[in-house]
Amino acid sequence: MRLDLSDGDEIGVDMGPLIDCVFLLLIFFLVSTTMKKPEPEIPVNLPDSAISSVISTDRQVQTLTVDLQGNFFWGSSPIGQHELHQRIRQWGSESPNAPLRIRVDRDTPSRFLIQVMDLSMFEGLTNYSIHTRDREAEAIFRSAR
């Protein structure tokens, strides 16, 4: 005896809930992403490192750059001597354990680096580092692109 089990309707997948889920995920990722404007790069010829460097992934890193002429840049904005002291004082009082990355051009007179280091020590900043160029890391980075 043969039984007719089909009810005549075709089996199908409803795409409506799937599309709703995809749109909700899209909206979630758009809202949770931080849109950060990239800072312009200041042309500084960094010295080569003698030892390997550790790349920091901390988001609270502040960059202080000293170019060849001895001009100071807090992030990417140029600052003067007086403002440099105020910014380091403010950075030291707001977050004394947050790292300060100092980038100094290879041919800059050392008095500018010593000035920044003395100001940092005077204001209580002990977590500062001097940023150098690592040729091996640059070669690996270029080959990965």
* Cα–Cα distance for residue pair 68/108, rounded to 1 Å: 5
What pLDDT does residue 25 have? 95
Contacts of 127 (CB under 8 A, 6+ apart): 96, 97, 98, 99, 100
Average pLDDT, integer, range 136-141:
64
> What class is the 62-144 domain?
alpha beta
> Residue ranges of the domains in the chain?
62-144
Question: Which segment of 34-43, 76-85, 91-100, 131-140 scores lowest on mean pLDDT?
Answer: 131-140
pLDDT digits over 82-129, tens only? 898 898 888 888 877 788 888 888 788 888 888 888 888 888 887 888
Query: Do residues 101 and 62 touch, judged by C-beta distance below 8 A?
Result: yes
For residue 48, the 8-state DSSP code is B
Question: Which segment of 13-22, 32-41, 93-102, 134-143 scores lowest on mean pLDDT?
Answer: 134-143
Nearest to 130 by CA among 107, 111, 113, 109: 113
What pLDDT does residue 131 have? 78
